[in-house]
Structure 1
Amino acid sequence: MMQYIYRENGDAAGFVRGKYIYLMNGAPVGQLNGTRVHTMSGEYVGELYRDMVVDRNLGNRGNIGNPGNPGNVGSPGNPGNRGSISIGYRDVFNKLGR
């Protein structure tokens, strides 16, 4: 089953496949180290929490380095909007596109 990542407004922003995070068009934008989310270059962005990439105010968890490009995996299809949700943490998915 595909794990989608959502924005605060409920729209699907991307998905997880293995240890990578992809945009909905299949382009890789991030990597996972447990629940920690990093850019493809390794910079810490935030935490994966309740299917969102959020700033949980944990400080900077460092740089894990560039793993190389896993390639475009294609679009998995859009699951639709799950509804707006506020979990008390700031949505930082946009930091993956830097």
Structure 2
Amino acid sequence: MTDYIYNSHGSAVGFIRGKYIHDISGNAIGQINGTHVHKLAGSYVGELHKDMVVNKHLGNYGNIGHPGNPGNPGSPGNPGNRRAVNYGYPDVFDELLK
């Protein structure tokens, strides 16, 4: 089963495979260290909260380094939209794409 990541509008924008976050096309764009989400290059972005990447204003957990590119596992398909959700934290998934 694929663990999808959604944006605040309810659109599936990525998925988790192992300790990596991929965009919906399968390109590796981030890594997960516990609940901390980092860009693939290592810089801290935010927290994984339920099925979103959000800014919980916890500070900066630094740079964990670039682990190398895990490759592209391919697109798992798009599960479609769900309802918009607001967990009280800003959605920062797009920071992984910069």
Task: Write the deviation string for residues 17-61 of structure 1: whole angstroms up to 9, x where unpaired.
Answer: 000000000000000001100000000000000100000000101
Cα RMSD for the two superposed structures:
0.5
**What is the TM-score of this pair, normalised by structure 1?**
0.98
**What is the TM-score of this pair, normalised by structure 2?**
0.98
Structure 2: unaligned runs, 5 residues or longer: none
**Equivalent in the alignment of 1:88:** 88
**How many Å separate the matches in 2 of 1:23 and 1:41?**
15
**Equivalent in the alignment of 1:27:** 27
Structure 1: unaligned runs, 5 residues or longer: none
Q: Which runs of 4+ in 1 moved over 4 A?
A: none
In the alignment of these two chains, the number of paired residues is 98
**Equivalent in the alignment of 2:45:** 45
**How many Å separate the matches in 2 of 1:33 and 1:27?**
18
- Share of identical aligned residues, percent? 60
**How many Å separate the matches in 2 of 1:86 and 1:26?**
26
Aligned-residue offset at 1:69: 0.6
**How many Å separate the matches in 2 of 1:50 and 1:26?**
20
Please say if 1:18 is aligned against 2:18. Answer: yes
Amino acid of the residue matched to residue 67 of structure 2? P
**How many Å separate the matches in 2 of 1:58 and 1:87?**
15
**How many Å separate the matches in 1 of 2:86 and 2:52?**
10
**Equivalent in the alignment of 1:3:** 3
Aligned-residue offset at 1:82: 1.2
**How many Å separate the matches in 2 of 1:56 and 1:63?**
17
